[in-house]
Amino acid sequence: MVQGAVNRHTKLSEEWLQKYVDDWVAFYRKHTKEGKVASYIPVLKKANPSHLGIVISGNNGITIQSGDVSIPFSIQSISKVFTFITACMQRGISYVLNRVDVEPTGEAFNSIMHLEMGKVEKPFNPFVNAGAISVTSLLDGSTPEEKLEPLYELFEKMLGYRPKVNREVYQSEKESSVRNRAIGYYLLEIGALESDLELTLDTYFQQCSIEISLQDLATMGKILANDGEDLKTGKEIIPRQIARLVKSLMLTCGMYDASGKFAAYVGIPAKSGVSGGIIAVVPPRARANELPFLSGCGIGVYGPALDSQGNSLAGIKLLRHISNQWDFSIF
Ligand code: GLN
């Protein structure tokens, strides 16, 4: 039985919060057996399916880390949040939204079917592959490095360092990219690419292969929780309007065809990737009760064993449990 319901007897000290989270990670680690690591990108098969870790970085200065928190992993689809932000900062929100919609698909992240079935002129949202590839095509530059430069600058402002592409992951993505190529050709046909197809795909494979840590996800989640502001310096890193837009998309489309369930049962904006990462955002909330992280926090979760929708299976269960225990839901 999982313990740790918050009630009036609960101590909110760091030590107690740490004990709860350790207990929950140990409990949910058992569920990693029910998932499978991604295999369609061959190098991702090397991940250890029993890994599970979480970092919670609070606005109150408290950081809780538990489980496998020191394994670097590729950012994969979580990059879509930040290329979308970058494109909006570069081109303006209306330019980007004229080219990619903000509707959930209810389909797999790499589906092509909905594009063709709906006879759409623009991809459904920036977090499915079709939308993300379109967004990548909007970035300025004539090489992947030039296109991704503002993304790296954004990461550097948020994290204090420039993360790098993991070349092995990048090669593996590139070599196993038939479906993304099919999506790319379809986008080309409907006029939804603003850069050369090869350049766009290469940039997309690189952005997905950027290596990050759980601490990084929690830090970036915290900045989004604060509408783009870094509370440490008081600087606005992401314009508030863009930060709010991206959070609404994370809530409605961030977990692909499991986004509705995640919104209903966990109730916070989040974005997953096939390497097993999840970034989650807990904005400050007004509650009468004494609860942990009332002033908001960013969360990073890593658990490479995935469910059938391509989301970290135990990671979602862990987030759901914590959200319920500590009343994280934004609703
Ligand atoms: N690089 C992966 C792909 O394009 C990203 C997908 C994901 O993380 N869901 O297939």
The residue-averaged pLDDT of 46-64 equals 97
Q: Name the helix (H) or strand (E) containing 324.
A: helix 313-326
User: Within a 10 A sphere around the Cβ of 267, how many other Cβ atoms?
Assistant: 18
Beta bridge partners of 281: 298
By percentage, how much of the chain surpasses pLDDT 90? 87
Which of 36, 129, 172 has most ligand 1 atoms within 8 Å of CB, for mutation? 129
The answer, yes or no, to whether any atom of ligand 1 lies below 6 A from the CB of 76, is yes
| Whether the Cβ atoms of residue 87 and residue 80 lie closer than 8 Å to each other | no
Whether 79 is in the pocket of ligand 1, judged by its Cβ within 6 Å, is no
User: Residue 7 has what pLDDT?
Assistant: 46
pLDDT digits over 60-113, tens only? 999 999 999 999 999 999 999 999 999 999 999 999 999 999 989 888 888 887
Distance of CA 61 to the CA centre of its chain: 22
**Cα(302)–Cα(73) distance, rounded to whole angstroms?**
9
Question: What mean pLDDT do residues 227-255 have?
Answer: 97
Q: What is the pLDDT of residues 61-72, one digit of tens each?
A: 999 999 999 999
Whether residue 8 has pLDDT greater than 50: no
Q: Do domains 14-72+213-326 and 76-208 have the same CATH topology?
A: yes
Does position 4 have pLDDT exceeding 60, yes or no? no
What is d(CA 321, CA 329) in angstroms, rounded to the nearest whole number? Answer: 11
State mean pLDDT over 141-149: 98
pLDDT at 11: 61
Q: Are 289 and 21 in contact (CB under 8 A)?
A: no
180 Cβ inside 6 Å of ligand 1: yes
Say what the pLDDT of residue 36 is.
97
**pLDDT score for 118:** 61
pTM: predicted TM-score of the whole model, two decimal places: 0.95
pLDDT in the model for residue 106 = 80
Weakest-pLDDT range from 50-54, 75-79, 123-127: 123-127
Q: What is the pLDDT of residue 283?
A: 96
Q: What fold characterizes domain 14-72+213-326? A: Beta-lactamase (3.40.710)
User: Over 60: is that where the pLDDT of 288 sits?
Assistant: yes
Report, as an integer, the average pLDDT of 163-168. Answer: 98
Of all residues in the chain, what percent carry a pLDDT higher than 70?
Answer: 96
* Ligand 1 contact via 227 beta carbon (within 6 Å): no
What are the residue ranges spanned by the domains of the chain? 14-72+213-326, 76-208
Binding residues: 77, 129, 173, 180, 204, 256, 274
Contact (CB, 8 A) for 114 and 105? yes
130 Cβ closer than 6 Å to some ligand 1 atom: no
CATH superfamily of 76-208: DD-peptidase/beta-lactamase superfamily (3.40.710.10)
Are the C-beta atoms of residues 16 and 290 closer than 8 Å to each other? no
Distance from C-alpha of 35 to C-alpha of 48, rounded to nearest angstrom: 11
Q: How far apart are CA 107 and CA 116, in angstroms?
A: 13
CA distances from 204 to 43, 78, 263, 279, 295 (A): 17, 12, 27, 19, 35
pLDDT tens for each residue of 267-282: 999 999 999 999 999 9
Report whether residue 38 contacts ligand 1, using a CB cutoff of 6 Å. Answer: no
Query: For residues 255 and 120, what is the distance between their CA atoms, to the nearest angstrom?
Result: 22
Most informative mutation of 45, 76, 255 for ligand 1 (most atoms within 8 A of CB): 76
Report helix, strand and coil shares of the chain as percent, to nearest 5. 50, 10, 40
- DSSP labels for 162-213? ---B-HHHHHHHHHT-HHHHHHHHHHHHTT--SS-HHHHHHHHHHHHTBEE-
d(CA 177, ligand 1 centre) in Å: 10
Binding residues for substrate: 77, 129, 173, 180, 204, 256, 274
Residue with the bigger pLDDT between 10 and 73: it is 73
Q: Is the pLDDT of residue 48 over 70?
A: yes
List the catalytic residues: 77, 80, 204, 256, 274
